[in-house]
Amino acid sequence: MTDPLDRLRSLGLRLSREALAALVAEAQKSGLSPLDLLARLADDETKERAARNLARRTKLATLGSFTTLDRFDWNHPKSIDRATFDLLLSLDFVRRGENVLLRGPSGIGKTTLAQNLALRALQDGFSVRFSTLAAALADLLRQESAPALERRIKRYTQPHLLVLDELGYIPADARSADLLYNLVSRRHEQRSIVITTNLAFKQWPSVFPGAACVAALVDRFAQHCHVLDIDADSWRDKTALRRSKK
């Protein structure tokens, strides 16, 4: 292996051979000094490693695909406190171990906003776990022993930010309520949780009928919680109406 570009790749550089070749060509064209070329190489390699690291952590966080904030239509909601959401993007709530509740009817963008909060946290170096509440509880309920449950529950207690989507869409039993209370209690005042829901706090007992811990669950989650209420027509209904008209 004599090509210097291939040798750089074999030494562990993450930049593609094409990117290295383009950098060398640009250096030759603009007359960069060897020191300036090395500086550019170090900058580009740092950016490439950061991008790959973010992509890896985003995949581990299970964010899925979503609309980024630059494409979010802030004029669609009838009512939303954008200043509060912009403040949440500073991630001070994550640094303080506080919670966020995104509340409103189905199909108005709550999940999208939660995913963008999660992405911002990943970009700032925080660890993140995103899941629907139903999927998280089903995952924990599948564990067949106490040690297995304890190992699996760390998946939801260790990340700096846990996002639980769609509370209130699927009813759950008392054991599910106990598991959610366990997560909230372990993270209380230590690590942040974002929950999206269509229900007011007083309606949460209807999701977990007969569960004795719901009041304590709400109390702990709401103690240090930023609530963002959204009033809007459903995006999905709006899209379906457009398609039917076409």
pLDDT digits (tens, 9 = 90+) for 184-219: 999 999 999 999 999 999 999 999 999 999 999 999
- Dump pLDDT digits (tens) for 78-136: 899 999 999 999 999 999 999 999 999 988 999 999 999 999 999 999 999 999 999 99
User: Where in the chain are the domains?
Assistant: 4-60, 69-240
Residues 6+ apart with CB under 8 A from 86: none
Amino acid at 108: I
> What's the pTM value of the predicted model, to 2 decimals?
0.85
Task: Note whether 103 and 197 are within 8 A (CB).
Answer: yes
Fold of 69-240: Rossmann fold (3.40.50)
Question: Quick one: three-class SS letters along 145-188?
Answer: CHHHHHHHHHHHHCCCEEEEEEECCCCCCHHHHHHHHHHHHHHC
